[in-house]
């Protein structure tokens, strides 16, 4: 079941709010949808990488001569063949290939472009690399020390940083690339006021996005130093802009085109293979395709590193949280990537739900000799809220209170100021929790030995990033169809469908009459990317505003023909007419003039009927003593789980899963439900199955494949999932809508953990909750 | 994920393959995976690969009616087989979607779409054998296909809807012309 909680604006909806079929549907079920995987050109070269067998090693010498001599090999590049400047997502520490050192096992040391993939593979065997092994720093806590075994980036303090939200370094901790703190009150005082103090440590595991289409890029030289790059990414403008910068080209010389993307989940927002493909295309003068194998995807694409969260909470006998101290350590791998931002933004989930007078949050992102950690669905909130919400459940039960009631009692309310100096607005956590209480009525019950059951719940509050911007362009055609040019990445979430619906709604036409031009930086205007659950809210607004602009232009043109002022006109079904009087109108075609030779239509003035606009949110780091905007919006919700646990095997089954999430307005209800279910799925994997395993001595990733890294299949996956969306209209959202892509992934993990606790009596403190771990919890002596 | 415009130092052979009811002759290394041959030599990009090790099922095609992972089958070993890919599903004459495709479309049984051709082939292979499968039988048939986006619930619904729509008997007759 799902349904609207309340009516949104006083609007008449035609297409918005309907579960119309996916706009990309027919292409995707007939095998004709084009992915970067399918982009090929005559004369195209294939590539293969030389990879470091060591997690940390100085590269003494690279001899590429034998590989270069192989017939059919066109280029063998090392970092020396790339411009010197480093790049990054805010901390510029990264190079395309390993520079002086290999920083993790599998790190690219050289790349070969050849006539075939097989030949390129063969040539990599002929590249001779001399390494001087260094001690790999695999453990985040070792890396964090003031005297770590090795300093991973000796030049860290010289690296450039972005002006927008730069990271904070720590002088006496040489591997820390970000330290972020938020707080208010005086926690010492707070803990003195507390009747009970709880201290716990929680750990999540490193996991990989594992999109079905791994990273890939195709670059084609266009002459004069220009490149066209096809990329499987989720932030096409960022990829274009950064790739040009990395290759020392003016941005206009790189055109990035994004076909359909076979999954993103946060893993494809930073440049990786694009500049390598681009440089190879420049050097060889031929189109070049760079693709990741599954193993390379695990090791060289970003992952989500393990996080250790220590949390101390003080409460009164009455059940008021008076103090909370949270410290999180986020081992980040060989480069900071978006990891420095993960360390910052996980604090918002920590400090944005509950009214705690004294709170201190301190997070650290730290280099390790493991795969690079960056953005991943939930962006830090998943990692920290596993522990925080588990502990909330523990405190409530310890005080003899219902965990949902305990949460409701301690919520920040409308207008309250958070620890990061932002005013809580449009709060819906209370409504989400109340609806969960109504809809999730599962109870712990008797199961046949050796099975036991338990129920659990959790609250989530996932921010969406700011500052941020989306732009859109809308063109009205003589036949009354409307073309939308926009750069949201279609990574499967359905933005193409939702945006088509918005255009159809605004022009009152069928979605079939909306033409979509997607993600091509020569044609489609700026967008921040399909990240941070942001597209519906931000791009939805931009599309609506661009439609308004286009209609204004259309009415100007039609006013001359109809001799009626433009502000008195409206459009529907390809016609323009005086408000409320469709019979006295004209076809959109009539504002155009027919050209000779049946060669088309033109406007006598103005060129084209084009509308364009930008939606942006201004925000910044919270300032001491000053209330300001930090994020775009918050995606709030709650999850409830009834779990069955086999006390003899440690197996966990989710008998019932309910999610209640506020989406403001469901542009396409079925797609919203699919986001909830799909995001739950990713959380279930992280909760119960997935973990990248590193050899603690060598730092090698030992399960970089689908056999040893367990992604839930249909057999492991629960089928009793009830996605419920609420429509608490957000005043800034398009028709009141906001995003939903990440929050369910965050919420379900502590809901599962607390359900397991309810079943077996002991709280899981580590992910994933593998059968062996759950077995231990179930068979532990009860204190 | 491999393609070879130019095979170096490998023995080539002339192979006869029957794909989607048409006979093709290709000059390739017989050890080349069928998935690569379909994509590189026969221009059928609907078949995807995601792991190239037979785990994920994105490359699933139907070989003599059975759902098979085309990354694990060497081209030289399927010469006498009836190979069917996702491109075979749409009716060549009427251009109509196959009932299994219609069901996936209506039930929103996919998001990014990269795994979808594999799921469609696994589904069709199941329904041809067992037109009224139980939920457990559906799960068994789809166990070798990974979907990272949907969480499988909508896929299960899609297969159930497909079982309602699809009658293998009439389809076989239609395909027999």
Contact residues on chain B for A266, CB-CB shorter than 8 A: none
What is the tens place of the pLDDT at every residue in A215-237?
A: 999 999 999 999 999 999 999 99
Alpha carbon of A352 to those of A187, A417, A622, A664: distances in Å?
17, 9, 13, 19
Contact residues on chain A for B87, CB-CB shorter than 8 A: 30-31
Q: How long, in residues, is chain A?
A: 783
Which pLDDT belongs to residue A258?
98
At A615, list the tokens: 């939606």
B166 interfaces chain A, CB cutoff of 8 Å: no
Query: How many angstroms separate the CA of residue B99 from the nearest CA in chain A?
Result: 11
Report yes or no: A665 and A733 within 8 Å, Cβ to Cβ: yes
Strand order in the sheet with A227-231: A73-78, A108-114, A45-51, A288-291, A216-221, A227-231, A254-257
Peptide bond preceding A467: is omega within 30 degrees of 0, i.e. cis? yes
Nearest chain A residue to B137, by CA: A715
Contact residues on chain A for B2, CB-CB shorter than 8 A: 46, 117-118
Asked whether the CA dihedral B103, A262, A208, A330 is positive or negative, the reply is negative
Of B47, B143, B150, the CB nearest to A677: B150
| pLDDT band of A7, cuts 50, 70, 90 | very low
Task: Decide if pLDDT at A604 tops 70.
Answer: yes
What is the tens place of the pLDDT at every residue in A741-780?
A: 999 999 999 999 999 999 999 999 999 999 999 999 999 8
Task: Decide if pLDDT at A6 tops 50.
Answer: no
Chain B, residues 8-37, CB within 8 A of chain A, namely 8, 10
User: Quick one: which H or E segment has residue A160?
Assistant: none
Nearest chain A residue to B114, by CA: A262
Instruction: Give CA–CA dist B54/B1, Å, rounded.
Output: 13
Contact between B4 and A116 using a beta-carbon 8 Å cutoff: yes
Q: How long, in residues, is chain B?
A: 177
Chain B, residues 92-111, CB within 8 A of chain A, namely 97, 101, 104-106, 108, 110-111
As a whole number of angstroms, the longest Cα–Cα distance in chain B is 51
More confident: B2 or A633: A633
Alpha carbon of A632 to those of A472, A542, A543, A576: distances in Å?
18, 14, 17, 36
Which of A23, A31, A654 to mutate to test binding with chain B, by most B CBs within 10 Å of its CB?
Answer: A31
Contact between B152 and A27 using a beta-carbon 8 Å cutoff: no
Contact residues on chain A for B101, CB-CB shorter than 8 A: 29-30
Report yes or no: A156 and A714 within 8 Å, Cβ to Cβ: no
Span A326-330, mean pLDDT? 98
Contact between A212 and B120 using a beta-carbon 8 Å cutoff: no
Instruction: Give CA–CA dist A85/A94, Å, rounded.
Output: 9
Contact between A22 and B4 using a beta-carbon 8 Å cutoff: no
Size of interface A-B (CB pairs under 8 A): 190
Report yes or no: A459 and A408 within 8 Å, Cβ to Cβ: no
Query: Quick check: pTM over 0.90?
Result: yes
Contact residues on chain B for A670, CB-CB shorter than 8 A: 108
Of A29, A38, A212, the CB nearest to B56: A212
Of A265, A680, A715, the CB nearest to B151: A680
Nearest chain B residue to A680, by CA: B151
Span A251-261, mean pLDDT? 98
Of A71, A491, A706, the CB nearest to B146: A706
At A604, list the tokens: 């006598």
Instruction: With CA atoms as reference, report the closest residue to A262 among A491, A33, A519.
Output: A491
Contact between B152 and A719 using a beta-carbon 8 Å cutoff: yes
Query: How many angstroms separate the CA of residue B100 from the nearest CA in chain A?
Result: 9
Span A148-174, mean pLDDT? 95
What is the tens place of the pLDDT at every residue in A194-209?
A: 999 999 999 999 999 9
Helix (H, G, I), strand (E, B) or coil at A255: strand
Contact between B151 and A35 using a beta-carbon 8 Å cutoff: no
Span A338-347, mean pLDDT? 95
Of B53, B90, B154, the CB nearest to A30: B90
Q: Does the ipTM exceed 0.90? A: yes
Which pLDDT belongs to residue B10?
62
Which pLDDT belongs to residue A623?
78
Nearest chain A residue to B152, by CA: A714
Express as a percent the part of chain A with pLDDT over 70: 98
Which pLDDT belongs to residue A731?
97
Residues in Cβ contact with A158 at an 8 Å cutoff, skipping those fewer than 6 apart: none
Contact between B1 and A291 using a beta-carbon 8 Å cutoff: yes
At B95, list the tokens: 């251009």
Task: Report CA A634 to chain centroid distance, whole Å.
Answer: 14
Count CB atoms within 10 A of the CB of residue A754: 29
User: Residue A693: which region, alpha, beta or left (left: phi > 0; alpha: psi -120 to 50)?
Assistant: beta
Contact between B108 and A671 using a beta-carbon 8 Å cutoff: yes
Which pLDDT belongs to residue A781?
66
Contact between B145 and A493 using a beta-carbon 8 Å cutoff: no
Which pLDDT belongs to residue B3?
45
Helix (H, G, I), strand (E, B) or coil at A458: strand
Span A680-695, mean pLDDT? 98
Contact residues on chain B for A684, CB-CB shorter than 8 A: 151
Count CB atoms within 10 A of the CB of residue A132: 11
Instruction: Give CA–CA dist A98/A479, Å, rounded.
Output: 54
Which of B2, B113, B142, B146 to mutate to test binding with chain A, by most A CBs within 10 Å of its CB?
Answer: B113
What is the tens place of the pLDDT at every residue in A444-503?
A: 999 999 999 999 999 999 999 999 999 999 999 999 999 999 999 999 999 999 999 999
Query: How many angstroms separate the CA of residue A462 from the nearest CA in chain B?
Result: 19
Query: How many angstroms separate the CA of residue B110 from the nearest CA in chain A?
Result: 8
Contact residues on chain A for B144, CB-CB shorter than 8 A: 713
User: Quick one: which H or E segment has residue A546?
Assistant: helix A540-562
Query: How many angstroms separate the CA of residue B11 from the nearest CA in chain A?
Result: 13
Contact between A263 and B112 using a beta-carbon 8 Å cutoff: yes
Which of A2, A20, A29, A715 to mutate to test binding with chain B, by most B CBs within 10 Å of its CB?
Answer: A29
Alpha carbon of A651 to those of A35, A689, A713, A715: distances in Å?
38, 11, 15, 13
Mean pLDDT of chain A: 96
Contact between A719 and B153 using a beta-carbon 8 Å cutoff: yes
Nearest chain A residue to B103, by CA: A29
Task: Decide if pLDDT at A5 tops 50.
Answer: no
Contact residues on chain B for A677, CB-CB shorter than 8 A: 150-151, 153-154
Of A28, A293, A680, the CB nearest to B110: A28
Which pLDDT belongs to residue B177?
38
Instruction: Give CA–CA dist A701/A698, Å, rounded.
Output: 9
User: Quick one: which H or E segment has residue A576?
Assistant: strand A575-578
Which of A208, A212, A653 to mutate to test binding with chain B, by most B CBs within 10 Å of its CB?
Answer: A212
Contact between A714 and B143 using a beta-carbon 8 Å cutoff: yes
Contact residues on chain B for A707, CB-CB shorter than 8 A: 53, 55
Give every residue of chain B whose pLDDT is below 50, as ranges.
1-8, 173-177
């Amino acid at each position: 079941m799902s349904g609207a909680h309340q009516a949104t604006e006083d609007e008449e909806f035609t297409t918005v709010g309907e579960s119309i079929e996916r706009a990309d549907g027919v292409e995707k079920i007939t095998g004709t949808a084009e992915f970067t995987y399918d982009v090929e050109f005559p004369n195209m070269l294939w590539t293969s990488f030389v990879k470091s067998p060591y997690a940390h090693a100085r590269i003494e010498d690279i001899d590429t001569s034998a590989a270069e001599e192989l017939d059919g090999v066109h280029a063998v590049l090392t970092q020396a063949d790339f411009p010197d400047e480093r790049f990054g997502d805010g901390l510029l520490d990264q190079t395309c290939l390993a520079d002086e050192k290999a920083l993790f096992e599998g790190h690219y040391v050289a790349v070969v472009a050849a006539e075939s993939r097989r030949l390129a593979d063969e040539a990599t065997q002929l590249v001779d690399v001399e390494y001087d092994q260094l001690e790999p720093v695999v453990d985040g806590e070792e890396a964090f020390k003031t005297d770590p075994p090795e300093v991973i980036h000796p030049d860290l303090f010289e690296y450039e940083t972005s002006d927008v939200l730069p990271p904070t370094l720590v002088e006496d901790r040489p591997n820390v690339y970000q330290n972020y703190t938020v707080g208010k009150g005086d926690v010492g005082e707070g803990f003195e006021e507390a009747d009970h103090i709880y201290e716990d440590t929680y750990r999540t595991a490193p996991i990989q996005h594992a999109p079905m289409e791994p990273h890939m890029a195709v670059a084609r030289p266009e002459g004069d130093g220009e490149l066209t790059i096809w990329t499987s990414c989720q932030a096409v403008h960022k990829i274009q802009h950064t790739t040009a910068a990395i290759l020392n080209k003016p941005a206009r010389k790189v055109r990035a085109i994004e076909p359909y993307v076979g999954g993103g989940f946060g893993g494809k927002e930073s440049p990786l293979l694009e500049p390598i493909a681009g440089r190879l295309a420049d050097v060889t003068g031929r189109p070049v395709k760079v693709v990741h194998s599954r193993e390379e995807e695990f090791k060289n694409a970003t992952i989500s590193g393990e996080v250790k969260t220590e949390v101390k909470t003080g409460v009164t006998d009455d059940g008021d949280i008076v103090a909370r101290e949270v410290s999180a350590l986020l081992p980040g791998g060989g480069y900071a990537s978006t990891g420095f931002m993960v360390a910052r933004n996980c604090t918002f989930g920590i400090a944005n739900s509950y009214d705690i007078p004294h709170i201190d949050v301190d997070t650290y992102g730290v280099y390790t000799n493991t795969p690079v950690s960056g953005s991943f669905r939930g962006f830090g909130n998943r990692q920290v809220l596993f522990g925080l919400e588990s502990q909330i459940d523990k405190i409530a039960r310890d005080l003899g209170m219902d965990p949902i009631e305990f949460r409701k009692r301690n919520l920040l309310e409308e207008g309250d100021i958070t620890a990061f100096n932002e005013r809580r607005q449009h709060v819906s956590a209370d409504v989400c929790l109340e609806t969960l209480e109504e809809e999730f009525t599962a109870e712990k019950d008797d199961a046949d030995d050796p099975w036991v059951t338990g129920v659990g719940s959790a609250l989530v509050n996932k921010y969406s990033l700011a500052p941020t911007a989306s732009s859109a362009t809308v063109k009205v055609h003589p036949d009354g169809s409307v073309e939308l040019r926009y750069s949201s990445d279609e990574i499967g979430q359905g933005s193409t469908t939702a945006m088509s619906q918005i255009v159809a709604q605004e022009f009152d036409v069928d979605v079939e009459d909306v033409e979509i031009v997607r993600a091509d930086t020569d044609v489609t205007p700026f967008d921040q990317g399909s990240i941070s659950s942001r597209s519906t809210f931000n791009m939805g607004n931009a599309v609506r505003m661009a439609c308004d602009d286009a209609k204004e232009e259309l009415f100007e043109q039609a006013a001359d023909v109809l001799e009626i002022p433009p502000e008195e006109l409206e459009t529907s079904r390809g016609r323009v007419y005086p408000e409320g009087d469709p019979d006295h109108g004209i076809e959109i075609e009539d504002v155009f003039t027919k050209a000779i030779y049946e060669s088309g239509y033109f406007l006598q003035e103005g060129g084209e009927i084009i509308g364009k606009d930008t939606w942006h949110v201004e925000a910044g780091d919270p300032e001491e003593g000053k209330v300001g905007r930090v994020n775009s919006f918050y995606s709030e919700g709650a999850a409830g789980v009834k779990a069955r646990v086999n006390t003899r095997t440690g197996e966990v089954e989710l008998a019932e899963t309910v999610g209640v999430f506020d989406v403001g307005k469901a542009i396409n209800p079925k797609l919203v439900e699919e986001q909830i279910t799909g995001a739950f799925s990713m959380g279930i994997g992280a909760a119960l199955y997935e973990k990248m395993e590193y050899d603690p001595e060598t730092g090698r990733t030992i399960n970089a494949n689908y056999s040893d890294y367990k992604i839930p299949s249909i057999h492991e996956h629960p089928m009793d999932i009830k996605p419920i969306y609420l429509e608490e209209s957000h005043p800034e959202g398009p028709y009141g809508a906001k995003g939903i892509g990440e929050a369910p992934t965050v919420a379900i993990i502590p809901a599962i953990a607390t359900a397991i606790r309810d079943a077996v009596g002991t709280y899981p403190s580590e992910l994933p909750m593998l059968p062996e771990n759950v077995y231990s919890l179930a068979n532990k002596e009860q204190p | 994920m491999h393609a070879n415009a130019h095979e170096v130092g490998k023995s080539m052979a002339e192979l006869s393959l029957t794909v989607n009811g048409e006979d093709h002759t290709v000059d390739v290394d017989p050890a080349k995976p069928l998935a690569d041959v379909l994509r590189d030599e026969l221009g059928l990009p609907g078949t995807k690969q995601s792991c190239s090790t037979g785990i994920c099922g994105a490359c699933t095609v139907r070989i003599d009616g059975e759902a098979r992972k085309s990354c694990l089958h060497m081209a030289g070993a399927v010469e006498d087989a009836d190979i069917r890919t996702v491109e075979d599903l749409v009716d060549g004459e009427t251009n109509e979607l196959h009932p299994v495709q219609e069901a996936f479309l209506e039930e929103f049984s996919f998001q990014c779409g990269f795994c979808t051709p594999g799921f469609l082939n696994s589904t069709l292979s199941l329904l041809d054998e067992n037109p009224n499968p139980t939920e457990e039988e559906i799960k068994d048939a789809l166990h070798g296909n990974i979907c990272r986006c949907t969480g499988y619930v909508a896929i299960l619904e899609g297969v159930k809807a497909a079982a309602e729509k699809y009658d293998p008997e009439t389809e076989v007759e239609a395909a027999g012309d």
